[in-house]
Amino acid sequence: MIKKISITLIIMLFLISCSSNKETKDTVSINSSPEILYIEAMAIFKNNDFEGALIKFKEIESKYPLSNEAVQSQIMSGFIDYLSMEYESAIFKYNRVIQKYPSHKNIDYVFYIKAMCYFEQISHEELDSNNNIKALENFEQVILRFPESDYAKDSKLKIILVKENIAAKHMDVGRFYMKNDKYIAAMNRFKIVIEEFAQTKFTPEALFRLVEIYYKLGMIEEANKTAAVIAYNYPDSKWYEYSYNILGIEKNNDETQNLFNKVKKLIKNKKQNGKESE
């Protein structure tokens, strides 16, 4: 399972923002029962008595369903489920909050923790495709809906990790198909990595696997062009060397040699132009 990564400070800021304005009051009106109950619930929560806090939050929801404290109680109830790794329950509660209170001031936090519920259930790329997809969708929602939110930056980092995981799954499946000579099915997987997850570390290998497949299918021109893409974009990669070995050295293919020479020239010019612009 992917462990919780650097969200403690963010969460504590959220908790403080939800309760500090109430706790600093010198006096509390006798009629402000939701506020009093919420302060009590937060005190219980901060003492790590999650079960007692849940009871108090549910009491607020039951007695004062239209109060702001009732909404905050629902959010905190979901957060307790999240801390207890009761992810399905937390997701259910947060979906309800999103549906009923889409404009709530802390709705960005709700989307973020909901995404974290999926993220922390990712234990292996081959087994958790649904959690990968759901985590990606929800982190993207945080960025799309709340680009200035405190949670947007961390969501971007999490998206990178999730995409790496999804790409890894496609690569594993593609390699499996290759071993069983199911080349078209393998190609489809590798193309997904190249087209949808181009920023991941798996892109050079995915391109090389296409070179291998094209070569085995006798599609030499396509293999040459794909190898040229590797040579141009990843000249220092081992996948470039592997491609060159297949198409350039082992077969002494003059056409391939000429293509690689052209690509090398382009790379050289690219580097020179980069230095001149500096």
Write out pLDDT tens, residues 265-274. 555 555 555 5
C-alpha 131/C-alpha 123 separation (Å) is: 9
Is 85 inside a domain boundary? Answer: yes
Is 39 inside a domain boundary? Answer: yes
Please give the tally of structural domains in the chain.
1
Encoded tokens for 103? 């404009």
> Residue 123 carries which DSSP code?
-
The mean of the pLDDT values for the chain is 82
Give the whole-number percent of the chain exceeding pLDDT 90.
Answer: 55
Is 72 inside a domain boundary? Answer: yes
Is 266 inside a domain boundary? Answer: no
| Backbone Cα Rg of the chain | 27
Task: Indicate whether 249 pLDDT > 80.
Answer: no
- State residue 18's pLDDT score: 53
pLDDT digits over 67-91, tens only? 889 999 999 999 999 999 999 999 9
Is 93 inside a domain boundary? Answer: yes
> Residue 2 carries which DSSP code?
P
- State residue 175's pLDDT score: 96
Of 263 and 170, the one with more pLDDT: 170
pLDDT digits over 189-218, tens only? 999 999 999 989 999 999 999 999 999 999
Task: Indicate whether 263 pLDDT > 70.
Answer: no
What's the predicted TM-score (pTM) here? 0.70
pLDDT band at 6 (very low <50, low <70, confident <90, very high): very low
Is 64 inside a domain boundary? Answer: yes
Is 140 inside a domain boundary? Answer: no
pLDDT band at 259 (very low <50, low <70, confident <90, very high): low
Dihedral angle of Cα 178, 181, 185, 186, to the nearest 10 degrees: 20
C-alpha 110/C-alpha 216 separation (Å) is: 50
Q: HSE on the CB side for 243, CA within 13 Å?
A: 33
Encoded tokens for 3? 């462990």
154 Cα distance to chain centroid: 10
**54: CATH:** 1.25.40.10
Range of the structural domain that residue 38 is part of: 1-22+31-121
Question: Residue 3 region, left (φ>0) first, then alpha (ψ -120 to 50), else beta?
Answer: beta
C-alpha 274/C-alpha 278 separation (Å) is: 7
C-alpha 103/C-alpha 97 separation (Å) is: 10
DSSP 58-108: HHHHHH-TTSHHHHHHHHHHHHHHHHTT-HHHHHHHHHHHHHH-TT-TTHH
pLDDT band at 21 (very low <50, low <70, confident <90, very high): very low
Is 38 inside a domain boundary? Answer: yes
pLDDT band at 24 (very low <50, low <70, confident <90, very high): very low
- State residue 256's pLDDT score: 52
Rounded to an integer, the average pLDDT of 182-195 is 95
C-alpha 42/C-alpha 30 separation (Å) is: 19
